[in-house]
């Protein structure tokens, strides 16, 4: 009887022949996003044996019910309970209550509004210093020299990472986001790089309390461990989260926002006239081109989603880039508009697993956009921007520009 039921369920299962991780998708992301969204509320991808949804309402349902759609099996393609993951699962990103709860509380406390207010001045000063130096040069790479350089300076500083060895951060993060997708050539090359460079050793050492600088987020995490709020092992894992998950998405989010503003001089002028539009410009950038376009969950048992029957321990990929342009949610979704109030975009997630560091990312982006718009009248592309090739992310690793000082 069970075999007959499974055959019937399979035959009625909506399927679509799409590959989220192909070069074609990376080259034409918007076409893929549209195809996913229009394929149906939730459809099966036979190539990877997973479900996918690109509709706002369905994504919200999955995000909002951790009991039915678990993070503990991993948020990428790999089922980290059944398969050997490349690293030990995160105690906050790949965990549900009760494990998730105390770790989330510690990070939320450390990344409080009061802490961010203290960071704001440091971020402002560093952004202005970097932008001043770049404007003096007139020609530079907006991706490498600013969108990349700023977060890779201020976030490790705030986290308490030593200056030595920070060149390992990008390869490790790149491996992290490639590993969330298929074990393809991108993953294999990323793994080779970190193995050859000794990056795993760096990360293991940097997670150790004795290597964390004082008066930092990392030091506060270990203070929570000493207070008994979390274990020392969990503290090290939370420090690792700053290394692997807190930088790339901000880097690429800033870069793609700047690309949209370069393409729309009228909106750049609006930002220059009103610095208060810096944060809305970034939020709209995240909605319009999500740097992390997908996140996964796993069904904790048989369930139904948007009228479709799902089995237990089946992956559901929430295609955020598609949902963020769902016309059922957004007016004129394919237009980038910094005067829009994009409250409710899904780039940071929602629910108990919503990005705990999202306010830090907003502060970083706001600092960069304010500093640049105050000092630059116009940005011109001086070459062809080059996109990244990472399974789980979108963005640019090169944006050559020339600027006209204000």
Q: Residue 102 and residue 225: Cα distance in Å, rounded?
A: 11
Can you spell out the DSSP letters for 9-76? HHHHS-B----TTSHHHHHSHHHHHHHHHHH-SSEEETTTTEEEE--HHHHHHHHH-TTTEESTT-SS
With cut-offs at 50, 70 and 90, classify the pLDDT of residue 246: confident
DSSP code string of 84-129 = --SSPPPTTTT--TTTHHHHHHHHHHHT-HHHHHHHHHHHHHHHHH
How many Cβ atoms are within 10 Å of 178's Cβ, its own excluded? 26
Q: Which structural domain, as residue segments, surrounds residue 354?
A: 14-405
Would residue 3 count as lying in a domain? no
Q: Would you place residue 3 in the very low, low, confident or very high pLDDT band (cuts 50, 70, 90)?
A: very low
- What is the domain-level CATH number for residue 134? 1.10.630.10
In a domain, 6, yes or no: no
CA distance 46 to 31: 19
Task: Dig out the tokens for 292 from the structure.
Answer: 């992390």
Closest alpha carbon to 129 in 146, 116, 152, 148? 146
Decide if 99 is inside a domain. yes
Q: What percent of the chain has pLDDT over 70?
A: 97
Contacts of 70 (CB under 8 A, 6+ apart): 96, 297, 298, 299, 300
pLDDT over 70 at 9, yes or no: no
pTM score: 0.93
Q: Model confidence over 59-94: pLDDT tens digits?
A: 999 999 999 999 999 999 999 999 988 888 999 999
Does residue 80 form part of some domain? yes
Strand partners, 308: 305
Kind of pairing between the strands at 376-381 and 303-305? unpaired
pLDDT given for residue 29 in this prediction: 96
Question: Tokens 């769902």 identify what position?
Answer: 326
Instruction: Identify the pLDDT of residue 2.
Output: 36
* CA separation for the pair 25, 22 (Å, rounded): 5
Residue 311 zone, left/alpha/beta (φ > 0; ψ -120 to 50; rest): beta
243 inside domain: yes
The total domain count for the chain is 1
Mean pLDDT rounded to a whole number for the chain: 94
Longest dimension (CA), the chain: 74
Taking 50 as the threshold, does the pLDDT of residue 7 lie above it?
A: no
Residue at 78 is within a domain? yes
Q: What is the pLDDT of residue 11?
A: 45
Per-residue pLDDT for 124 more than 60?
Answer: yes
Tell whether the model's pLDDT for residue 375 goes beyond 90.
Answer: yes
Residue 8 resides in a domain: no
Least confident interval from 5-14, 264-273, 376-385: 5-14
Number of H helices, E strands in the chain: 18, 12
pLDDT at residue 342, as a whole number: 85
State the DSSP string of 235-249: HHHHHHHHHHTSSHH
Q: Which two tokens stand for residue 105?
A: 């509380």
Note the pLDDT of residue 113.
87
Q: Is residue 75 one of the residues assigned to a domain?
A: yes
Q: Which residues, listed in sequence order, are joined to residue 390 by a DSSP beta bridge?
A: 393
Distance CA 373, CA 401 (A): 15
Instruction: Please report the pLDDT score of residue 6 as a whole number.
Output: 40
Q: What is the pLDDT of residue 1?
A: 33
């Amino acid at each position: 009887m069970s075999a007959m039921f499974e055959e019937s369920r399979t035959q009625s299962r909506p399927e679509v022949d799409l590959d989220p991780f192909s070069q074609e998708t990376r080259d034409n992301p918007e076409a893929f996003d549209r195809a996913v969204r229009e394929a149906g509320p939730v459809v099966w991808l036979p190539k990877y044996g997973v479900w996918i949804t690109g509709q706002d309402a369905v994504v919200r349902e999955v995000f909002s019910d951790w009991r039915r759609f678990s993070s503990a099996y991993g948020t990428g393609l790999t089922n980290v309970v059944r398969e050997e993951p490349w690293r030990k699962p995160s105690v906050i990103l790949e965990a549900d209550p009760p494990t998730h709860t105390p770790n989330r509380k510690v990070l939320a406390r450390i990344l409080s509004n009061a802490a961010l207010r203290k960071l704001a001045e440091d971020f402002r000063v560093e952004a202005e210093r970097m932008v001043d130096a770049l404007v003096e040069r007139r020609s530079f790479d907006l991706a490498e020299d600013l969108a990349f350089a700023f977060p890779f300076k201020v976030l490790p500083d705030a986290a308490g990472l030593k200056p030595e060895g920070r060149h390992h951060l990008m390869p490790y993060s790149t491996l992290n986001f490639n590993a969330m997708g298929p074990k393809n050539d991108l993953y294999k090359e990323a793994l080779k790089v970190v193995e050859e460079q000794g990056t795993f050793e760096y990360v293991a050492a940097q997670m150790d309390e004795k290597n964390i600088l004082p008066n930092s987020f990392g030091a506060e995490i270990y203070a929570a461990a000493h207070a008994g709020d979390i274990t020392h092992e969990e503290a090290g894992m939370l420090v690792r989260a700053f290394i692997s998950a807190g930088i790339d998405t901000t880097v690429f989010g800033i870069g793609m926002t700047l690309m949209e503003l370069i393409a729309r001089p009228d909106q750049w002028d609006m930002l220059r006239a009103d610095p208060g539009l810096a944060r809305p410009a970034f939020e709209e950038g995240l909605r319009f081109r999500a740097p992390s376009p997908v996140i996964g969950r796993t069904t904790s048992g048989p369930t139904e989603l948007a009228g479709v029957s799902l089995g237990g321990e089946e992956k559901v990929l929430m295609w955020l880039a598609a949902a963020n342009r769902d016309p059922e949610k957004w007016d004129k979704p394919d237009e980038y508009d910094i005067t829009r109030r994009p409250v409710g975009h899904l780039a940071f997630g929602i629910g108990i697993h919503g990005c705990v560091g999202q306010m830090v990312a907003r502060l970083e982006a706001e600092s960069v956009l304010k500093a640049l718009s105050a000092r630059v009248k116009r940005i011109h592309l001086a070459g062809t921007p080059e996109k990244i090739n990472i399974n789980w992310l979108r963005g640019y690793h090169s944006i050559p520009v020339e600027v006209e000082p204000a």
